[in-house]
């Protein structure tokens, strides 16, 4: 309820975020296409209609840019060794070494994306007198992809080779092709389309099938032409372990050279002009841009993999610390070693209220019905326009005072109540919160320890019958209360919730009362108490029922204020990093934890979702399902453990999968909005939630119990 003048919330960042996520998805897609390359030769699908007989009966070198196909064969005793799927950093150099040792030349049909990864190998191929051809950019089956995709594959490969060598290629071998007789009608049409952009198709007379790794002798036999005949031989220098290929090439060259065979390039074998031509400046520049794009896509994917690994490690470490601390906390509070005398000192309960007509009667009645022996209730009406103060006054309850003031904000109302309170122990309560009869008693017992300056209670969601309420119930139990147990053990509690918190009066006066310069006054106040040298603890048995937002719009507004206010408080108390004592524990334990798990990781969450979309298309579904089920199981076990600690039923666990698909996105988008608001220096209004009275209706105004 703090009053702030604010400019309109920024919105342009949503467009930038969407564009950034689309760019990331595009980068991941590019990397997925260029790394998920399958090798091999032969038809990639089911049997299909054959190409025209004049083609299947012809030679392996095909010109299809005329009305009638023209094919050529290798002359007798001439072998054109051809290698597909490279360049490969391990096997291509070994193949080149064998060829150089035998003074033989060959033709390499390179994959464009691999050219961008290893341009130096492509240059070496040309420098040593060999020939280059295109094998598409991503090893795509041009017979089955759309025409635009096939054209793009050829164009990108040309540009990649041009950037690496300064030359453009005209020879083309389609992936998954083999010998001419195996050419299908679809493959033939794809080759005719490629001829339209100046490509000459090269198939094979002999397919060594070395990608199957059948053994060196089998490869040599398959690659040996009939005695005295020439042949185009299909082999591979990339796409897998090509050790057998290297050995087979060495044996083949040794054996056939003694029989008078010559080993040359495809173009030289048919006495055709050189197949490469100088590349234009535009083509070379486009090729360089393509290589940078591919490198950027690889960096983006590497970065995402690193982010996911770090997030996973941090998540598991967080869970381990939470569980360990929860066990320590449970042993400490449920089986205390030293029984202290019960605290029975008078308590003043301060209820700041602004337009709380829906719940204020239930709140006040629950406080008056408290079993605590010495209690006064102070309702500070902060300029309500719905008759909140009148409702309390008409109740005429003993021990309840109403103070009216002009609207000045929640911190001002709390400070008014603090000044008016008669007791030395103060309990601060929101006007939509309902206590159980034993809540106040349990809440203040921690003050038996003179080092404790403030105590957090256990806030529970009352209106949890609907799906959104169940999600928030799980968040309160898992995210808030499990964390509070950890903060208690580590002595770095950053927030006592406004719904239920107890303070020593002199502590509040020492720190200057409730601050009003942040929107998370509860977090700001708690951090001030810690920095003043006091302990802040958590009392799990002091239960308060509160009304949570009942719509996504209200939830957004509430969490936006919480998140932005927490960022303000963290920045305000950043100097705690260098302080000794309790303040230092906040600075070196609490603040880093909040930074990582409430700001940094949520800001990275949109990118993680984009990575999940990428995985749907480029990762095995079995891997995705296993990862998702594993993550969900881990979350379910964590939730079940947290519910067990809070003595809650396990019924809401079924909503966890849906929570991951909707609620999680709302929460991280809130962090994005808050971070942008903080960066640009905007001031956020206090956006009050509209109360419906569900907390009062469900919990009851008498002796509240657990809602169903």
Which bin fits 179, alpha (ψ -120 to 50), beta or left (φ > 0)? beta
pLDDT in tens, 347-370: 999 999 999 888 899 999 999 999
CA 134, 136, 139, 141 torsion-angle sign: negative
DSSP state of 344: -
Kindly tell me if the per-residue pLDDT of 395 is higher than 50. Answer: yes
Torsion on CA atoms 635, 639, 642, 644, rounded to nearest 10: -130
- How many other CB atoms are there within 10 angstroms of residue 437's CB atom? 15
Question: Taking 50 as the threshold, does the pLDDT of residue 5 lie above it?
Answer: no
In which band, very low, low, confident or very high, does the pLDDT at 142 lie, cut at 50, 70 and 90? very high
Residue 691: the pLDDT is 55
Q: Is 84 annotated in the active site?
A: yes
| pLDDT digit string, tens, across residues 561-607 | 999 999 999 999 999 999 999 999 999 999 999 999 999 999 999 99
CB 538, CB 455: distance < 8 Å: yes
pLDDT class of 628 with cuts at 50, 70, 90? confident
Average of per-residue pLDDT values in the chain: 90
The percent of residues in the chain predicted with pLDDT above 70, rounded, is 93
**What's CA 661's distance to the chain center, in Å?**
13
Q: pLDDT (tens digit, 9 = 90+) per residue, 502-537?
A: 999 999 999 999 999 888 999 999 999 999 999 999
How far apart CA 113 and CA 663 sit, in angstroms, is 40
Q: What percent of the chain has pLDDT over 90?
A: 73
Span 431-447, pLDDT tens digits:
889 999 999 999 999 99
pLDDT interval class at 217 (50, 70, 90): very high
User: Is residue 391 reached through a cis peptide bond, with omega within 30 degrees of 0 on the bond before it?
Assistant: no
Tell me the pLDDT band of 702, cut-offs 50, 70 and 90: very low
The C-alpha atoms of residue 708 and residue 698 are separated, in whole angstroms, by 9
Helices and strands counted in the chain (H then E):
27, 20
**118 catalytically annotated:** no
The SS3 of residue 63 is strand
Please identify which of the residues 105, 118, 199, 236 carries the catalytic annotation: 236
How far apart are the C-alpha atoms of 291 and 300, rounded to whole Å? 14
**pLDDT given at position 698:** 46
> How many Å apart are CA 454 and CA 447, to the nearest integer?
8
| Contact in structure between 445 and 542 (CB atoms under 8 Å) | no
Pick the catalytic residue from 84, 237, 382, 646.
Answer: 84
**Measured distance CA(475)–CA(493) in Å, rounded:** 18
Reported as a single tens digit per residue, the pLDDT across 19-52 is 999 999 999 988 888 877 666 666 555 567 888 9
pLDDT value at position 45?
54
Burial code (b: 16+ CB inside 10 Å, e: under 16) for 39-65 equals bbbebbeeeeeebeeebbebbbbbbbe
- Partnered with residue 107 across adjacent β-strands are 82, 131
Q: Are 358 and 426 in contact (CB under 8 A)?
A: no
User: What six digits make up the tokens of 193?
Assistant: 């389309």
Q: Residue 482 phi/psi, 5° resolution?
A: -65, -40
> Which pLDDT does position 678 carry in this prediction?
84
For residue 207, list its beta bridge partners. 234
């Amino acid at each position: 309820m703090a009053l702030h003048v604010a400019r309109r919330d920024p919105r342009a960042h949503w467009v930038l975020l969407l564009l950034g996520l689309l760019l990331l998805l595009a980068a991941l897609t590019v990397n997925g296409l260029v790394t998920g390359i399958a090798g091999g030769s032969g038809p990639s699908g089911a049997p299909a209609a054959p190409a025209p007989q004049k083609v299947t009966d012809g030679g392996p070198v095909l010109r299809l840019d005329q009305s009638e196909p023209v094919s050529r064969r290798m002359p007798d005793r001439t072998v054109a060794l051809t290698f597909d799927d490279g360049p490969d950093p391990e096997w291509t150099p070994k193949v080149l070494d064998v060829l150089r040792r035998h003074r033989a030349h060959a033709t390499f049909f390179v994959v464009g994306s691999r050219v961008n990864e290893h341009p130096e190998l492509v240059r070496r191929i040309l420098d040593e007198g060999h020939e280059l051809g295109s094998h598409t950019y991503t090893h795509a089956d041009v017979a089955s992809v759309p025409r635009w995709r096939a054209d793009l594959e050829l164009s990108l490969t040309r540009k990649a080779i041009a950037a690496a060598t300064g030359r453009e290629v005209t020879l083309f071998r389609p992936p998954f092709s083999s010998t001419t007789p195996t050419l299908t009608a679809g493959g033939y049409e794809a080759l005719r389309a490629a001829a339209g952009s100046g490509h000459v198709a090269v198939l094979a007379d002999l397919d060594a099938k070395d990608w199957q790794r059948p053994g060196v002798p089998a490869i040599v036999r398959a690659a040996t032409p009939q005695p005295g005949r020439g042949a185009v031989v299909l082999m591979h220098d990339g796409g897998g372990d090509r050790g057998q290929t290297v050995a087979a090439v060495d044996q083949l060259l040794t054996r056939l050279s003694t029989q008078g065979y010559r080993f040359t390039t495809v173009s030289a074998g048919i006495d055709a002009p050189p197949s490469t031509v100088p590349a234009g400046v535009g083509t070379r520049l486009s090729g360089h841009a393509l290589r940078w794009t591919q490198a950027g896509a690889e960096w983006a994917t590497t970065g995402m993999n690193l982010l996911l690994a770090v997030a996973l490690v941090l998540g598991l470490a967080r869970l381990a610390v939470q569980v360990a601390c929860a066990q320590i906390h449970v042993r400490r509070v449920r089986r205390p070693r030293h029984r202290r005398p019960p605290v029975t000192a008078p308590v003043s309960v301060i209820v700041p209220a602004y337009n709380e007509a829906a719940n204020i009667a239930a709140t006040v009645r629950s406080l008056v019905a408290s079993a605590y022996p010495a209690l006064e209730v102070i309702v500070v009406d902060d300029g309500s326009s719905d008759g909140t103060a009148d409702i309390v006054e008409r109740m005429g309850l003993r021990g309840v005072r109403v103070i009216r003031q002009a609207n000045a904000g929640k911190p001002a109302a709390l400070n008014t109540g603090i000044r008016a309170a008669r007791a030395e122990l103060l309990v601060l309560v929101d006007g939509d919160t309902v206590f159980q009869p034993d809540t106040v008693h349990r809440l203040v017992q921690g003050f038996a320890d003179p080092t404790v300056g403030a105590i957090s209670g256990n806030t529970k969601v009352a209106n949890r019958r609907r799906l959104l309420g169940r999600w928030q119930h799980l968040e309160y139990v898992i995210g808030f209360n499990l964390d509070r147990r950890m903060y208690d053990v580590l002595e770095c509690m950053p927030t006592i919730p406004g719904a239920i918190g107890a303070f020593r009066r002199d502590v509040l006066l020492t720190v200057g009362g409730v601050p009003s310069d942040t929107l998370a006054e509860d977090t700001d106040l708690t951090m001030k108490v810690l920095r003043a040298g006091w302990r802040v603890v958590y009392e799990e048995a002091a239960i308060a029922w509160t009304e949570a937002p009942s719509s996504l719009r209200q939830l957004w507004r509430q969490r936006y204020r919480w998140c932005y206010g927490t960022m303000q408080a963290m920045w305000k108390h950043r100097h705690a990093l260098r302080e000794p004592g309790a303040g230092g524990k906040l600075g070196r334990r609490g603040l880093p934890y909040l930074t990582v798990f409430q700001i940094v990781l949520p800001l990275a969450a949109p990118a993680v979702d984009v990575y999940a979309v990428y995985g749907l298309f480029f990762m095995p579904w079995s891997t995705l399902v296993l990862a998702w089920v594993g993550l969900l199981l881990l979350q379910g076990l964590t939730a079940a453990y947290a519910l067990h600690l809070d003595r809650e039923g396990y019924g809401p666990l079924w909503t966890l999968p849906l929570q991951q698909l909707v609620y999680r996105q709302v929460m991280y988008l809130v962090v994005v909005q808050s971070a942008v608001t903080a960066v640009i220096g905007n001031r956020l209004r206090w956006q009050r939630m509209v109360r419906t009275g569900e907390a009062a209706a469900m919990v009851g105004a008498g002796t509240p119990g657990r809602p169903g």
